[in-house]
Each structure stands twice: as structure tokens, then as C-alpha cells.
Structure 1
């Protein structure tokens, strides 16, 4: 901007240099700003009236917008909404669909944060939930639906048993009732499966995981199929279909995009889980190498899972790429390019063997995360699933000796050598225990 005439020192330090020369960078620019200037009085009115342009980062930002368009395209959806975390994405998606008295049918094999959201937070708002254990049985889903059910929820690759969802079958049941199937596709990523192509209405991700890839930032995304049908589902979702007195309603203004428009206009900006443009940039950068990383991670994970399954110290391996997994046939049908890289391994023995195993590892990092370029390990029974009863943990494949692995892009021989050291450490604990018992 031009230097103000007769400006004082403080005025100049605020205003001079706050503009930038117009240019077209090859990399996505980071628009790290709270708000945007308007070119004119009418420009401001147009923004607040029709939503043209950008006014405030909480409601829209060019960097965020560019990443949203990328993620929508990769998932095969109509529009995407980027948020501050994966949990924010799930919360906003559900809050945009549910009201007091409504009902959710969910797979029981879901992330513990989502389970807590349903059983504690949404329950306090008058929303009830039913959990389906046999997710491969369409009749189990159908039987759980009531007249108040407003959505079905599941993960494409489930936490922690690695069960793969028959997306088309469950989506067809949702469609019978005019309600959406919401799929958390974090474990699979759109490189391996795109649930919208199989009938899901909404996809959510923790973008903190595979999409960003480096474990550096938090983020979440909602992708909508853009096929909301007010004629068919308007009575179930009147806030999306009805026109307020004297105003054009969402359906009138956005048609099939009414659902994602409501999330963007009325839910996300009011609850406020706005992503930082810097985080959006890093998620966008990470997504540029998504296929390369996921292909390598999936190949590494399958090799590791096959090696572990053959070891005598291992009781079981829950990886959908193994022929021994109960949903392997479903995985072959839906997953293209690999079977994912997050799975569980259960050691013979208990928590002492698991502790020795984890503490012997040097290449694989012990931390709460997944989808990183680095391989990671966690003991679910004492961390993510600690609040469940022993009976509940066992029903979901989590025993005292169960460990979750998220395999990265390292050289697979190094990973196997590290795991071998862990298994030898775990076996030594078991041998000591046997000696003590005999003595």
C-alpha cells in the first residue's frame, strides 16, 4: 500500500509492508490471517449476503478452501469441510444431522473418542445410540433402526479388530430409510477405498493421521456426496429442507449440497473448531504424497503381519490382508492398493510380556498416534481402551497381550529385526515366570 501522507511512526509500523506484490506461487500460499479486506462497501454486503469471497477465516480461507477441494476430489465427494481435528469433524457432522430425541446406529468397533461422544456428550442432549457388533450382518443393522434413527455410523477399517465394513450393504440399508451412512475412513484413506463410491453419504477423517502423514499437525475433514434429497428425506431433516418464513431455505439455495452447506454455514462457525491455515497447508502438502506413503505402508504392514503370524510367541494377528482374518474376503472386494497399515498383534502371555516387548523396541516409536511415516506401537488395554471392562475389551479382540501397530515407511527388514528383539524380550519374561512357578 502507498505510505500514508504525514504518517507517524506507530501508524507506519502497523501499515507499511502489510501488502504483498501480486504473484502466482507454485506451492499453495498460506493465508495466515484472521480476516480479509473488502474492496468496497458493496463487496462486504455481497459477502455477508450471498457468501461471495472471503471475509473471516472462521467462515472461509483461501488456503483452507484449496485443501478442501483437493480432499473432496480424492474422496469422490461433492464438497469437503476442513476442521481443527478429526474429533471436530465427527462432532460437527453428527451435530448437523441430529436433534434431541434422535437415534444413532453405530458399529461397536469405533474409536473410543467417538464412542464417548455418542454415549456421554450426545446422550446428554437427548440423542440415544445402539451399537451393532456383527457389522457384517445386514440384518443386524436393519434390526437396530427405529423411527427416530437419523444416521448409521461405522469405520471402513475398524478399530481395533481390523474388520472391514461391507459399505455397499450397509449404505443400501441406510438408503432404504432415507438416512445417511457416515463412514470414518481414517484407517483406509481414499487411496485404498472411497466409501462414497459405494453408497456412503458422508465420509470423515482425522486428517492428523495419513492425510498429513508426518504427525506434525491436527486436522479433520468431512466430505459430503452432495446428493441430499429433500423430497425423500426432508421430513427427517426439516432444518435442511424447510424454508424459514420469508427466507430461502438451504434446500432452495443449495439443492443436494444442503447438508454440507448447513455444516459450513451454521454448525462449524458457531461451534468454532476452525483449522489454522498453516495446518491446512501442511495437510495439503502431506496429501500430495498420500498414495506413495500408503502403498509403502500397506506393503510393509502386510509383510510384518505375515512374519508375526508365523512366530510362536504370537497368539494372533488381526490384519485384514491375512487370509486368516474373518473379513479378508470383504477386504479383497473393497480395498485397492493394499490392506492398510494399522493392526493388532496379541502376544502369548499378558501385560508383562507386552511391556517387555514395547520397551525393547528401538525403531518403532511408543506413542499415541497412527498413520505416521514412522512405525508406532501402543498397548490399547492400558491406554485407548482402558475405560472399557475386561469383558468388553476381550469381545473386541483386546487382551492383556494385545498391541496396536501402525507401520510406517521404514525398510521392512529393520522393522522385522526390531520386532524380533521385542518378541525375544517378551519371551524372556515368560520363561522367567515359568521358572518362578516351577520353583
Structure 2
């Protein structure tokens, strides 16, 4: 079995994370429970940053907080000297409450509201990633009302889509994000923002996909963007200070996945960008990237208690846990795949095949199909690996199930960073009917 980060087996034969016994964590904080190996997050962050430094390239590594946002997580990112991407007023509010430097915040999104834009301008954030013509007009108007300028990047679609080992050249016109680089929209947008006195146009942004295991797609996107940068340098006197190549760096969910090390992504991309800038006789811009999943994904493990089981002869063995699509909706949405072990006996040889079912009232609430597993019984702890990205971030209260707690583990210490929701939390915003004859307790 492949273990992640600081995970290991202790003298009791239990799985540990950050030097902390997962069985003790489950007993102390309850289940389901998200446990983060914060040392692994730090190592990944440093892997990206230090490679840029080694290559002598000015850069920003911005954590894409949609992967997992909380006050403690944002504080951890600040400790590692990263910048931050937000895509909503809620993510921005969390960052500001965490004390994050607003000048290092980049605001993304294809439909920012006037209230969100005003909030970001009042906070003096570092950059807006402008996504469409409506946003250009809206941001300009609000800047004028407040008599404030805004630094911006234009998000463009470079005609490259990349996922895992596949990359596709496409017009990419059928996307809700960005200005198309091929049909003239991007150039039209650039002309508009360059004429607007409220905008400081820093450069260009793209995002080509997710869970990418190779650098080919990033390099192809860079070629398309730098070609346009060269043309616009001459035609529009536009000198890009920033080239943001987005995120999407892959992680290992199962043994079939073979991602690159953080530094390898950076090294290959920067080598090519330097070459292209030289060929086009352009000054090297600051390079920004946006890792999210690659920082938190395999640093997170979800602990569950095993409950009921069902044997369907000659078909399948179901094993149910005390969570499911309410804390990890990715298998239901994307058919996402995971590996797992019995945390109190992780090294025991698997002697059966089961399918892990959640407790939600949906036949599609399945976490793992056909998992090899050792002997087990109700009350055992199941550890599902690589749930640190889009687990808590997409958690929900379906069936009025409270969202789990979150714990950070490092150097043998565990710290509760998000409390488990209570039943009282679930009804906190419910209002009774004003004229009902039924009394609310």
C-alpha cells in the first residue's frame, strides 16, 4: 500500500498522520473526520517556490483556495509566503478574516457581483482576473464610483485543453470562462482595458484543465499566449508584466496515477517560456501559477467508522460508513476514484473485496467500488486517502447531515481547525411559520 506524506504505521499497528494515531483522532474528534498532513502541504508549497528561485525567475505561487478554504488553511498558506486566489465574496471574506495580505489576493470568477467587486476594491486586493466584457464595464464603473484603480489580468482561452495525459488543440470557444484568443475577443478586450484610465493591465491568464500529469499542455498554451504577446507588443505597445499559466497540476489518487513533482512542472514550463521570450525578443514577465489540489489533495485523509454491510450473492459486498456524498461528492459527480485501508489494521493482507457505500438516501452514494480490504467489523476506522481537495470545500448538508470536523496534524500534534457542525447549526437560519399552530421547541 502506498502511503502519503508523513503517514506511517506506529507500534500499535495503526495508521498515523503527522505522527498522530488516526484511531486516537477518530476517538477524540469523531467521524467522519478530515485530517490534513500539514507538513506535506508545506513541502509542496516550497517545491513550487524554490524551483522558481533556483531558476532565477520572478514569480507568484498563488494557492487556489477553492480546493479548501478555512481561516487556518489561509494562515498556513501565508506562513509559506504564497499568494492566494479567491472566486467569491465568501472566499475573500475568509482570507481577510485570516489576516491575509490583500495585496497578494487575486480575484477570479466569471460572474463577480457588484457587491463582491466593491468589497475587493475596498480591501485593496492585488489583482482582478477579468473574465468577460460585462466585467470590464462593471469593474470600470465601480472603480470610477470609488475613484480607485484596479490591477487586472485578462483571462484568455488559448485553444488548449489538458487533462491527465491527454491534451487537445481546440478553438475552446464553448467555455464559460475567458476571452477567446483565436477569434479576436481577447484583442478587443485588451484594447478596451488599455484605454481605461482605471485599469493597470498587468498581463494575461489562462487555465487549461485539471489533474494534469505532463507539461506538454502548459507549454502549448504558453506558445499560443506568447505569440499573441509578441504581436500585441508591436501593434498595441502592450508589454505584459505577468504571464499566469494557471493550475491543474495532478496528484496521485490511485496507483495508476503518475504525477510529476512540483518542481518538475515549474522547471519544464520555465525553460520553454524563457526560450520563447528570447525568440520573440520580449522581456521575461513575472510568472504566476495557481496550485490548489496539488497542495492539499493528497495531504488530506478522511476517517470514517464502519457500520452496516450487505452481501448480494454472486454480485457484490457492500460496506457502509458514517459519511458519504455529504462529505465527498466527487465520486457521485465525476466517478472519482480513491484508495483506502482499515486504519487500525492497515498492514493486514486484504482478504475480500467490498464496495464502500455512504449513508445518504441515494443509490449513487458510493465512495469506492471494489476495494480490496482486510477483515473488518462495525466500529473499525476506514481511512480514505487523498480527500484534501474539494472534500470539505464541496461538503453539504444533504439529509441534514452535519459537515465533519477538520484537524491539522504535524510533528505528533493535532489541532482542531474546523469544528463539527451540530444539529443546532443545521437549523440556525431556519424560521418557523408565523401563523402555524405548531409550537417550535
State TM-score, norm by structure 1. 0.26
**Structure with the higher strand share, 1 or 2:** 2
**Structure with the higher helix share, 1 or 2:** 1
The higher-RCO structure (CA 8 Å, 6+ apart) is 2
